[in-house]
Chain A
Amino acid sequence: MAFIEGLIEYDFLQKALLTSIMVGIICGVIGCFIILRGMALMGDAISHAVLPGVAISYAIGINFFFGAVFTGVLTAIGIGFVSQNSRIKQDTAIGIMFSAAFALGVILITVLESSTDLYHILFGNVLAVRPSDMWITLGIGVIVLVSVFTFYKELLVTSFDETMAEVYGLPVRLIHYFLMTLLTMVTVASLQTVGIILVVAMLITPAATAYLLTDRLSTMIFISATIGVSAAVIGLYFSFTYNLASGATIVLAATTLFFLAFVFSPKQGILWRKLNARKQRTVTN
């Protein structure tokens, strides 16, 4: 297969593969908490909000990681501030803040005439991953995984029963912003691979697939990461072989896996539920 040969032959493809795998894992892991907390829209918001940071970083010549995390977290705080200090509901606040940040990013990229290739940032170009990007992705990956492992208990209880967590004294708001920071870092790590527009799919689709396949959080995280990796590798294969945008191929691979689970999941899949319903009917008749 050309893909395997390419892997052996080309250094850039190895980097792309390694980066994609890491992105698949961390998106899958963080995505579980995002969907269980009903924050899918927040994931979309943060991913768009990193754009101005990326533009500024390129303009002043620092790694885009720093600027992106800065504007991402700033937007999360802005969303929290607006929804807590007015009658505006959170999803509305998200809509206002992230489109503003994204618009600002578009203007900054034009005005600063930075060398940023907007198309690549928006849609991902994993085959152009530089060594520094790969190392940043790996570094972020390690930070995210260690954080989730260390604070698993706290993330679980604040996702499942925030009131109880608050009563026994956990800093629930701090944990929220901590998760937002991790989310921002994951987004940044995914920029090269899937791009800003499609990051949200990598956060949500593998986690949602796993959600259909298990009813234990720890198992869900594991399955979600596995699906994330599978989607990333399959997507990379199609991107390389047919010269397509890597973000799009990876997302469609994840979506395909989701629909397989949606139909065939032993407990939640529509197929078995239909069959079970029919069996019930014949028993009652």
Chain B
Amino acid sequence: MAELAYREALNQALAEEMERDPRVFLMGEEVARYDGAYKVSKGLLDKFGSARVVDAPISELGFGGLGVGAAMGGLRPVIEMMTWNFAILAMDQIVNSAAKLRHMSGGQLRCPIVFRGPNGAGGRLSSQHSQALEANYAHFPGLKVIAPGTPADAKGLLKSAIRDDNPVIFMEGELLYGVKGEVPEGEHLVPIGKADLKREGSDVTLITWSRMLTAVVLPAAELLAAEGINAEVLDLRTIKPFDAEAVAASVAKTNRVVIVEEGWGYAGFGAHIADFISRECFDDLDAPVTRVHGLDVNMAYAENLERLILPSAARVVEAVHQVLYR
């Protein structure tokens, strides 16, 4: 197995799927001649030509809509948003068109489209460019939402997303693009909606996704192990539909849960998981479900404040002590 960076794994998935299916094309700001703002589309223009790797003007609503139209017409577009912060401009096409076409046409229209791009804080990019927005999209029926945390999952899930016949919101971690990991070559598909146990444990379940996995939760699990606390780490990978079975199985095993997410706590996606656990796993709980999340403020520019706002391994350790009554 080759060791690849997260961006290379995504590049591989794109190239393989474009090779496999001539209907797949990539469109977005600077994806062609500049190889993408984060170099995810490196080399694709040379390989597939300008008809399938398309530079779009700076108008997210416009090329977002173009993509939806192409999907309705039978193509399988991958629309790169330079970041999900900018995709806010395209919300109408994503929410009012892509998510609803199949429903409103009584199944006559399909919208096999992937919107992808970086999500979450990028490091001193201030409030407009540091948002983790997965909870927004998870809210809408008709959208699938994916947030992989490792290069292998990024590749396997992007391939599954491109093959899915419904609109998929594919959220990459802005600070993950350079993170390396082993990636299976060729046909590596990760099913949408399946969580992955990244670390087995018995004392507490840490539920997370995307960048928090490697940046915060796994390091926290190591700190806890040094104290003799054996934490289980469940990487959801897919936000919607999330893997309820895996969550319930882990809760039944450990009886205590800490949910870790980068985004804001207020109506954050972790609240939805907590709701599920309190209803479906009530008798298995030994402590209230606890959450660690970004503080409910706009992101500061100053590095020291940014560190305070984002979840940290120390805060996860503290939350684990709480649910273990230590």
Do A and B share a complex? no
What is the interface of chain A, defined by CB distance below 8 A to chain B?
A: none
